[in-house]
Structure formats: C-alpha cells, structure tokens
Chain A
Amino acid sequence: MNQHLVLRVVTKLMVGFIILFALYVQFHGDYSPGGGFQAGVIFAAAFILYGLVFGLESVQAVLPPWVTHKMMALGVLIYTLVGIYSFFLGFNFLDYGALTPSHPEHGQHYGILLVELGVGITVAGVVISIYYAFVSRSSTSKDEEW
C-alpha cells in the first residue's frame, strides 16, 4: 500500500476520530443507540483499518496479539467483578443498586456503565484477535492470481 498516498494520509487522520467515536458510543450507550458491543466493534474497526493500510507488523507494534488476548479476559472479569462487588455489600448478584446503596437509581446507572465497559473491552479484543488470526495465516496464492 506504499503507493496509495491518499489512503495512508486519510487513514492516519481517521483512526483518531474512529476511536473517539467508539468512546462516545461506549459512554453514551445508555442515552442513545450504542453500548459496549457496538463501541467494541467500532474500536476494533479503527485498528483493523490501520492494519489493512499499514500492514500487520505496524498494527501489532501498537497492539500486540497478547494484549488483545488479555483484553478478552479482562472485559469478562470487569463484568463479573461488578456482580461480585454487589455480593460484598449484601445485595444479589449484579444488583447495581449496591454501587450506591443510599441512592439505588444512581447505582443502576454506574452499574450499566461499568458492565458495558467490560463488554466493550472484550468485544474489541475478540474482533481484533479474529482479524489477527485471519491475517497472520500465510496465503497459498499470490495477489496477482486473483
């Protein structure tokens, strides 16, 4: 892709905005369409775009495969830790009211934000990992043969 100057410049420009949009969808998910899953996919799309244009090595220098693997586990863990936290305050599993016992409505709000953060991290990790898995397979046919 070395000769595609426009693509390279536009990609560099866009990646930041895509990640910013992902964060917007992530943290605004409770008011507007969106949430952890969509945000995770958008976040991953930024890295996949970067990888498509600049190659696998460049994107893996930013986000090595072991990081994406840990991300998958970390997100699930954040989700369950929110639930476990509510145990310790004497509530049922995943009762977000536990987060602010004096004002359960706020707790519901914080709870969904934290849980969606976990979902977002896991989904981003999974989607990027799938991309890595496909791209790092060495191809059996050359580009010209297509």
Chain B
Amino acid sequence: MANPDVTFVAKSFMEHLPVYQVLVPFVSAPLCVLFGNRQFAWYLTFLACFISFIVSILLLNQVAEFGTISYALGGWPPPIGIEYRIDFLNAFLLVLVSGMALLTSVYLKGTIDLEVERSNQTLFLTCLLLCVSGLLGVLITGDAFNLFVFLEISSLSTYVLVAQGANKDRRALTASFDYLIMGTIGATFFVIGLGFLYAATGTLNMYDIAGRIQGDLPDRTIQVAFAFILVGLGLKGALFPLHTWLPKAYSFSPTPAAIFLASTATKVAIYAIVRFLFSVFFSHPTMLETVLVNVVMPLGILAMFVAGGIAFYQRDLKRMLAFSSVSQIGYILVGVSFMSSKGLTAAIIHLFNHGITKGLLFMCAGVIFLRYKASFYKEMSGLGRIMPWTSAAFLIGGLSLIGIPGTAGFISKWILVQAALEQGSWLIALAILLSSLIAVLYVWQVTEIMYFGDSSKKGFEISVGPFSYITIWILAVATIFFGLSTSFTLEYSSEAARVLLNEFSLTD
C-alpha cells in the first residue's frame, strides 16, 4: 500500500518490468478473444511474445546489475502480499521461455493453417498466450500459492492446446485427457504439500517459509509437505516413473504446441522443484540429501537409460523425441542431486540447452510431418535429399542431443561429467557417457534412414510458410552458437547455482 502522505509516487518503466513480463501475454489473451480475428490474434501474439522477450532480457540485465529484484503486487509488502522475486535462476529461464514463445509464435504462422481449423485459430493463440503467461508466472513468482495458480493456468491451457491435435488425429483427445488426469493429480499433490507447509508455518511466501522452518530436525509435517511437493511437481515435470502422459501429449498435439511444451513446460516444473529444494527446504540438508541421493539420483539415472532405450525402439519420430526428452530430464535430475555448485550449474545449463535443442528438433519434425506427411521412420527414407535444409537442421539438433563437441548439448554434458568426477562418483560419470551412446543409437537410426535410404516420394503438394524455416535456422544457429560460445549460458547458470547454494551453505 502506498504511503498515504505521498499522493503521487513516480515510478519508472524499469521498476515495473517484473509485472510486464507476465502481464503482456496475459492481457493479450482476452484481447484476442474480444476482437475475434485470427490475423489480428496472430499479430497480437507475436507482439506480446516479442515484448515479453525484450522485458526478460532487460530483467536479466537488471538482475546482473542490481542483484535479486523483489516486486510487491498491490503495494503490499512481501510476507503479506504476493511477491515477484527474480534472481539469476529465474531471470535466465525467463529468457528461455519467452524466447521460445517468440520463436513458436513466428513458426506457427507458417503451419497453423495446416493444423488448426480456421474457426479455432484465435482461441488456439489465446491458449498459447495463456500458457506462456502461466509459465512465465511460475518462474517469476516468490509466492508458493501463486506458483500453484500459474502452474494451473499454464496446464489448463496446455490441455486445450494438446486436444487441438484432434483435427489431424483423434488420439489427441485421449492424450489430452490422460495429461489432464495426470496433471490434475500432480497439481493436487502439490497443493496438499502447500497445505501442510502452510499449516506448519502460517505463511505462503517461499522465502518466509524458508525462514520459519529452520530447525535442527524437520518435523513430520514438513517432511510430508516436502514429499507431496516433490511428487506433485515431479508429475508435471515428467520425472521418470511419472512421465507416462508426456509421449502421447507431445506426439499428438499440433506442432506449435509440441514445440513450445517440449522446450519449456517440463523445464519450468523442474525449475519449481529446484526452487523448492534450494530456496525453501535448504535448511534441512540431511532431509534433502536423503531424498536426492536415494530417490532422485537413481530415478534420474534410470530415466537416462530406460527412456533412452524406449526412444531407440520407437518407430515414430515425434514419440522418439518425446522419450528422449524424458531421458534428458534424467540428466538434469542427476545434476540437481549432486547438490554441488557444479552439478546445479550443469542442471541449469541443461535446462536451457536442452530447451533450444528439443525446440529445434520438434520444429523440424513438424515441418517433415506436415510437408512430407511422414511421422514413421520408414516413410522418411531419402528425406535428406528431398528436404536437405530441414534434414541438416534436424541433424544439428540430433548431434546436440548426443552431446557432440561444438553443439549446445556438449557443454551441459561436459559440465555434468565434471560435476560427477568432482564428487568422485566415477560410476555416474560412466553412466552419463554410456547413456550418451544410447542417444547416438536413436539419433543415428533416423539419420541413416534420412540420408542413406531410397526416396520413395518426390516433390510435395503442401508448402509451409517461410516463417517456419527462419525459426528452424535461428535455433539451429543458436544450438551451435551456445556450443561454441559459453560466456552467456555458463556465466548465468553458474551465477544462478551460486545464488541458490549461497543460502544453502550458510546453514551447513
């Protein structure tokens, strides 16, 4: 609440950046519905994502300059009101999410007519905008319950986005329904956990909770809260045994939805896990260590191998990419479970690098699916000669997935291996390298068919707008750029890890 003595508090544009970040896409969504024109809706979506991207970059600069930013919504100071709190970790991921939203909004200009009925396009874009603002909100907020609300905003709009795939394939409806059930169970678990935390502390502000649960031993309530929150967010983030909704949701949803979800949605849920681990429950290191070492790390390693193995046996491109996502999430979890600065750096940088890599791969898969009408490997034989550019971009993404030096994927795996060696766990380092070999296998399978198979089809009747190709190549170049120049990604992710562990090490 503003000071009653002051009648006019001049605040600059820059001070309101945290709210613009979420508000711009959020206001654009109802405007799209009100105007109800699909051309207008696209321009508005593009503009909103563009502004949001610029704001995220400005925010990152602000954080780099001034440190953690806190913004009190409604003028109510943090423990009472809702707080937006931005440090290196979420500022870095805000750039990823808003950047991917921008690229998706450009990409879909070329493909939306092929996938979504004209009458539904406005509402499709509305849901995309809501999903973007929901994910940005999860990242930016410092209030645990507000995080839940934003998580639900993004999830509910995601269910609609996935269901729109029914235009091409009716199985999208069951995929969406599965996701709805699993996602709702996850949200319920999360909110039950929050309930326990609230019962134990009487506050919902994450940093306030963290301050109040400090003690020698966590009591039963906090342990239960921790378990519920971990499982709930794990469902949303597709941690290994809880991933069953993901392959269907990604492979049957319309391409723009698949691109955006694959590159951001699970990443944001994992961000929330990291945030709860290291900003809320950090004062109970033994509890964290028990869970991370005995549960999260084994599941992460299992994900790397089992999901990778399943990806190898897929014969459908999008499903293969979806299972490979599950296996890549395993790497991130292993990085988190080291509880070291190196490990967290690896996890955060992999969130970013895998985000752009998977975005690229799904963009290519989308163009291949729409133009060549191919989703199974056998229909793709000889594609490398018919669509040389898209296949080349796909190959770049595939190499990054394996972790070939010179691509973004290499950087994250390199740091992850370093982190494993730093802990002296040779076995885990070996596991990371071995599971990369599985990635070699499943990427090679596709490459072989694309480049060495005989082409059965020639030419296509369907064309995809130039926008889609532009975004594919922006991401392909970014994948290589972030593999060669690590100054941006490495600096911010190690800084984020340092800030996260700062509080953590104080209590040791």
Contact = CB atoms under 8 A, between A and B. Distances in A.
Whether chain B is bound by chain A comes out as yes
Interface of A: 69-70, 72-74, 76-77, 80, 83-84, 87, 89-98, 101-102, 104, 108
In terms of DSSP, what is the predominant structure of the interface of chain A?
helix
B33 A69 contact: yes
Contact of B1 (A74, A76, A77, A95): A95
A87, A93, A101: residue with the most chain B Cβ atoms closer than 10 Å:
A93
Contact of B33 (A73, A84, A90, A97): A73
Interface of B: 1-2, 4, 7-11, 16, 19, 23, 26-27, 29-34, 36, 71-75
26 contacts: A69-B33, A72-B33, A73-B29, A73-B31, A73-B33, A76-B30, A83-B19, A83-B23, A87-B19, A90-B9, A91-B2, A91-B11, A92-B11, A92-B19, A92-B71, A92-B72, A92-B73, A93-B19, A93-B71, A93-B73, A94-B73, A95-B74, A95-B75, A97-B1, A101-B2, A104-B4
Given A87-B16, A92-B72, A97-B75, A104 B2 contact: yes
A24 to B, nearest CB: 27
Contact of B7 (A73, A74, A101, A108): A101
A83 B71 CA distance: 14
Given A73-B32, A73-B34, 10 more contacts: A72-B33, A77-B27, A77-B30, A77-B31, A89-B8, A92-B71, A93-B23, A95-B2, A97-B1, A102-B7
Nearest to B7: A101
A99 B16 CA distance: 18
Which has the most chain B C-beta neighbours within 10 Å: A77, A80, A89, A95? A95
6 interchain residue pairs of minimum CB distance = A73-B30, A95-B75, A73-B33, A93-B19, A94-B74, A92-B75
Given A73-B31, A77-B34, A84-B27, A90 B4 contact: no
Contacts of A73: 29-34
A37 B110 CA distance: 40
B8 A90 contact: yes
A50 B337 CA distance: 59
A34 B407 CA distance: 57
A84 B19 CA distance: 10
Contacts of A96: 74
A97 B31 contact: no
Contacts of A108: 1
Interface of B is mostly: helix
A93 B33 contact: no
Contacts of B7: 101-102
Contacts of B23: 80, 83-84, 93
B66 to A, nearest CB: 18
A93 B31 CA distance: 19
Nearest to A66: B36
Contacts of B8: 89-90, 101
A98 B26 CA distance: 21
A25 B30 CA distance: 25
A98 B75 CA distance: 10
A76 B32 CA distance: 12
Contact of B75 (A77, A84, A91): A91
Contacts of B16: 87, 92-93
Nearest to B2: A97
A74 B30 contact: yes
A90 B34 contact: no
Contacts of A70: 33-34, 36
Contacts of A97: 1-2, 75
A32 B7 CA distance: 31
Nearest to A69: B33
Contacts of B30: 72-74, 76-77, 80
Nearest to B13: A87
B245 to A, nearest CB: 24
Contacts of B72: 92
A3 B76 CA distance: 58
B172 to A, nearest CB: 19
Contacts of B34: 70, 73-74, 77
A72 B36 CA distance: 13
Given A73-B34, A97-B2, A104-B4, A80 B27 contact: yes
Nearest to A79: B30
B71 to A, nearest CB: 7
Contacts of A101: 2, 7-8
A74 B30 CA distance: 7
Nearest to A74: B34
Of A72, A92, A104, most B-chain CB atoms within 10 Å: A92
